[in-house]
Structure 1
Amino acid sequence: MADVRPVEQFPMSRGRCPFDPPPELGRRLHDEPVSRVRIWDGSEPWLFTRYEDVRALLTDPRVSADPDRAGYPAQTPGIKARRSRFKSFIGMDDPEHAAQRRLLTGDFMVKKIQGMRPRIQRIVDELLDDLLAGPKPADLVQAFALPVPSLVICELLGVPYADRDFFHRCSKVLVSREATAEQSLAAAEELLDYLARLVEKKIDDPADDVLSRLATGQVATGAMTVEEVASMGQLLLVAGHETTANMIALGTVALLENPDQLAAVRDGDDALLANAVEELLRYLTIVHSGRRRVALEDLEIGGQTVRKGEGLVAATDIANRDETQFPEPDKLDVTRKARHHVAFGYGVHQCLGQPLARVELQVVYRTLYRRIPTLRLAKPLEELKFKHDMAVYGVHELPVTW
């Protein structure tokens, strides 16, 4: 009788190195690039691990990002419940997706984001002033990694930073892999109610921010409802601080564990710094539960026939370790040309805020290590608590000293 390998649960357990994808993903990349996995609800979507297959999948118009379609492989019960109740363009297909995304493209154009660089630099410097004046050891997550992108996205959207404790609490539930459907819906409802009240205020008293522009240009004209704008604001607010905060902290851990690479980032020119950001995005790929889709019709990807209604998971973390694209992929090399990574996704649904994330990370990585050249972990690496319980990977806290 032939040996039949059991269908493994996804996401999979990581190995000894906290920066590497699960070893089983590496095996599948080489031996079984398209295979079945089992997710929380018992369904068995197809998992794609090769770089070229992941990009093909994420650009194929015959697949859908709509979580309401039968067969869509939702990440968690909480995310499934929330996305069914509250719609945002991340879960829409074109042309609806393109129409909503187009309303925001001007706010995240490279030229506009580059114009924010001096303000981002001031935010970083002020937070580092406070960090250096405070006690040691310090938690770099709470003192620096989380406040930087939170302040930036609050200013961009027009959300009061004074309310950060509230939206940080809601965000933790929304990105938790362990939150129940009820907990996720309650957190989403609470945050949406808050943002809806904010949007309504901005209709009568607008400022120079994204929510004011949407309130006056879309809600006041009847083109969108208050809830639709609030839902868009929720997506930008949560994604705008959770992802970058985790990249700041996790990237710092990775560099502290590779001091030669940290020295190169600290002492290198702007071109090397830009390379370093792309390499860290590739190496860490903090969205580690894959990009989810469902087939709209029968199709073939990576030599595998997929039937209409079957779920699809594009494993971007292991695709970013594909040696056909990135030689010695398990090595962190900040001089590598890695801009073609898929850490931001690929195709029409790739991350809208990637220009902002890039500038924030460039400013942070350069400034942090130059101003605190003796920065070091205050705990051994093996004692850090990594976010295996979250949809966005990182560390829950990062004790550092200098």
Structure 2
Amino acid sequence: MPEIKIKVNQLTRVEGHGNIHLEASDGKLEKVLWEVTESPRFFEWMLKGRNYDDVSTISSRICGICSIAHTTASLQATEAAFGIKLTEQAWLLRKLLYDAELLESHVLHVLFLIAPDFLGADSVIPLVATHGDVIVMAVRMKKLAYNLAEILAGRKTHPITPIVGGWSKLPDADALRDVRERLVKCLDDAETMVAVVKSLAPMIPNFNRPTEYVALKDSKEYAFITGKIASSDGGTFPLEDYQKITNEFCVPQSSAKYTRHARASYQVGALARFNLSSEQLLPRAKKAAASLGMKAPIHNPFFISVAQAVETVHCVEDAINIIDRLLARGLHDEEVKVKPRAGRGVGIVEAPRGMLIHDYTYNDAGEIVSANCIIPTGQNHASIQHDFDALAPAILDKPVDEIRHTLEMLVRAYDPCISCSVH
């Protein structure tokens, strides 16, 4: 067999910069690497010395896609450090805002970044001509998510109104009623999205690598911003013990750290959440999962995007339910009292791409003494590499372009936020 050399510099349709490097000869794999080449961004040092009022605003700038997730994790870390408990209204608003975050991000990934891989296109642009109705639907869903976030937080990217202990400004009740009507209509769009994914599913590569899956788990609900850390290999852990899970370490080919727990790597994200908590999906999402033939556990990382489609249905349904609860109880201004104190707080949420960790230590004046942020993609880098190690030898008999494309698809399946991960 001829010598194979593949070098993909700066993979497209992902956030940030990452390379794929493969070498093989005589049918034997010599090297396959997932290389992260982003420069470190030092956000934790930017937080040091900052007053608690500024911290979530700065943290939201870690990512323009997941800024609500970073805001939420940041606020919850500060609230844990100061011993602040949210009211029911504040919790419902925070959960509703989080549904907007996941809805927008999942539609972006599945229909704009992943779909071209299955439809023979280099980007979403050619699909406007061939699948225009689906693209228009995707834009409509994204706009709805943005509008919901604007009603709740002032804006989707780098939100304004969520603050430590509550909200600086409540949403307008009439605006919530209007967006609820659009969410009800969006249920049909979400189910169409599932149908699109189902039509593409036969083209998903047949690849399985059992691994450990880590996500938040809550006995009361499908967890996005509540619960404890759970592992598919067994056990739950308090949020404060996250370092017993993450165990960060450095590798030569990555400017982002790797993580490992019970095995050489673990996976976070939509598939991890599905594998750990699928029984807690809302009814329409359960129906969507069944229509896609999904039954936990699933060990094919290409199904991350399929799990995202299921979560999209869940988030639309959940958002409708939360708005109904908010309108039924009525929106009331609540005084937010914050008394800074020295201490440590850990906030962990499920960003669209997986478990996101913010860990802050404050002094008596409410200023950050130290901070630690661990990003979902940082936790998935090792999993991508181990997937490469298992997948590459099995496809070496394929044409070079197919090998390259399959490895690119694998990375994109993880929906990586690469530049966020280099802390």
Name the TM-score, length of structure 1 as normaliser. Answer: 0.27
> Which has the larger share of strand?
2
Name the TM-score, length of structure 2 as normaliser. Answer: 0.26
